[in-house]
């Protein structure tokens, strides 16, 4: 049985690859051509590197220039929303979508 396993896997791979014809691929491409590719980063600039709005704007402009269009952020200090707002404002100015997780401390 073990000697037939590589042959079986090869046949499955080949059949799955050959099932798409050019017309079907073009149809899929045409339907997704206008879809935005959300290329992003997991950790945006840390707050210590963006002490002012100008610095935050520069960092997010660099991110946009690198081709990123979204960022995930974990906001760890619920008592200091200025840091978060600085990042959100800079991201908005540069057309970057943000997904923010607000940490909550349970004592």
Residues 18-72 have pLDDT tens digits of: 556 677 777 777 777 677 778 888 888 887 888 999 999 999 999 999 999 999 9
Give yes or no for a contact between 76 and 100, defined as CB atoms under 8 angstroms apart. no
pLDDT band for position 96 (cuts 50, 70, 90)? very high
Q: What pLDDT is recorded for position 31? A: 72
Find the angle CA(52)-CA(54)-CA(60) to the nearest 5 degrees: 105
pTM: 0.64
């Amino acid at each position: 049985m073990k000697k037939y396993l590589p042959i079986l896997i090869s046949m499955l791979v080949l059949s799955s690859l050959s099932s798409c014809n050019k017309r079907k691929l073009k149809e899929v491409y045409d339907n997704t051509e206008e879809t935005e590719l959300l290329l992003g980063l997991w950790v945006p600039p840390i707050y210590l590197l963006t002490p002012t709005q100008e610095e935050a704007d520069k960092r997010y402009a660099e991110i946009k220039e690198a081709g990123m269009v979204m960022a995930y952020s974990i906001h760890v200090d619920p008592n200091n929303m200025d840091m978060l707002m600085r990042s959100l404002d800079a991201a908005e100015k540069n057309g970057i979508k943000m997904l923010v997780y607000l940490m909550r401390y349970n004592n």
